[in-house]
Amino acid sequence: MELKICHLYPDVLNLYGDGGNIRCLTQRLNWRGIGVEVTKMPIGSKESLTGFDLIFIGGGQDFEQQVLLEDLHRGRDKELVAAIEDGVCVLAICGGYQMLGAYYETHDGKRCDFVGALDLWTVGAKKRMIGNYMYKVPEELGGFTVVGFENHSGQTRLGPGVKPLGQVLAGFGNNGEDGTEGAVYKNVFGTYSHGPLLPKNPDFADLLIRRALERKYGAAELTPLDDAAELLAHDEMCRRLGKR
Ligand code: GLN
C-alpha cells in the first residue's frame, strides 16, 4: 500500500509550521509500514494534479493569496475541482481553505476570485481573529476535539453545499459569529487550524489517512499507534483553553 501526497503551493502557502502536517502524515504511514511519496508543487510547476491520493494546502497571508492567483487560474483551479469531485482527500488550512471557496474579498476591498470547489466565501474584517482555539467535529467524523492556532481577518460563510467541520468550543472559527469552524465536502477538510494541526490531533491525521486508503483500496484497517505524547500536547492545550 502506498499513498501519493501532493503539497500544493509550498512556496507561498506555508505558515506557522503548516508543512509539519505532511511530516506527521508521512511518519504515521511509515510507522504502519505504508508507503508514501510526497510531491511539492510550487507556483509554475507543470506537473499534473491527477493521480494523487491526498492534497495538502497550507495557509498564507492576503499578499501570497494574490500572488498565486495567476497560476491558479492557468488550470490548477479546474484540476482541483476535478480531484475534489473525484473524492481525492484534501486538507486545506486557512488561506488554502479560503482558496477552495468562491472568493475572498480583503478588508481593503481587493477581490480574489478563487477555485469555487466549495460552497463558501470569505470577506475580510478589520479585526483579526487570533489565538489558540478549539472545536469539536460531529459524531459521523469521530466526535473528537481539535486544538489549533488561528490568525485570520477573513470571515468565512458556508453555503448549503458544505457542512461545518466542527462547532467552536473556544476561539473564533469561521467568522467569530455563527459558532462554526471549517468545512467538509466529500473528502475535503478545510480549517483555520495552523499549528501544525495534525501532530497534536492524531485522530484527525488518522481520519485523513483512513479516507485516502479507503478511496484507493476499498478498505483501511489502521494499526493503533502509541499517541501518548501527541495526546499530552492536545490535552494540555484543552486545559489552557479551560476545556479540561
Ligand atoms: N489572508 C487570510 C486572512 O487573513 C488568511 C491568513 C492565514 O492563512 N493565516 O484571512
From 94, 103, 114, 191, the mutation candidate for ligand 1 (largest count of ligand atoms within 8 A of CB) is 94
CA 172 to chain centre: 16
Residue pointed to by grid coordinates 504515521: 28
Q: Which of 21, 62, 157 to mutate to test the pocket of ligand 1 (most atoms within 8 A of CB)?
A: 62
Whether 195 shows a pLDDT value over 90: the answer reads no
Active site residues: 94, 194
Going by CA atoms, what residue is nearest to atom 5 of ligand 1? Answer: 95
Q: For residue 83, give the H/E element and its range.
A: helix 77-85
Mean pLDDT of the chain: 97
Which position has the grid cell 495538502?
Answer: 56
CA 105/CA 122 separation, integer angstroms: 6
Q: What is the pTM of this model?
A: 0.98
Q: Which three cell numbers stand for residue 88?
A: 481525492
**pLDDT one-digit tens code per residue, 30-56:** 999 999 999 999 999 999 999 999 999
User: Model confidence at 243, in pLDDT bands (50, 70, 90)?
Assistant: confident
> Which residues, 6 or more positions from 157, have their beta carbon under 8 angstroms from its beta carbon?
120, 121, 122, 123, 174, 175, 178
Contact 147, 126 (CB under 8 A): no
Query: Are the CB atoms for 147 and 172 separated by under 8 Å?
Result: no
Is the torsion defined by CA of 66, 67, 70, 76 positive or negative?
negative
- Position of cell 481520519? 207
Amino acid code (one letter) for 239: R
Side chain identity, residue 161: G
pLDDT at 8: 98
Q: How many residues does the chain have?
A: 244
Average pLDDT over every residue of 10-27 = 96
Nearest-atom number in ligand 1 for the CA of 95 is 8
Task: Report which protein residue has its CA nearest ligand 1's atom 4.
Answer: 152
As a whole number of angstroms, the distance between CA 83 and CA 78 comes to 9
Number of Cβ within 10 Å of residue 56's Cβ equals: 27
Residue 160 parent element (H or E): none
Task: Label residue 160 exposed, middle or buried (CB < 10 Å: 0-12, 13-18, 19+).
Answer: exposed
Atom of ligand 1 nearest to the CA of 13: 8
C-alpha of residue 66 to centroid of ligand 1, in Å:
11
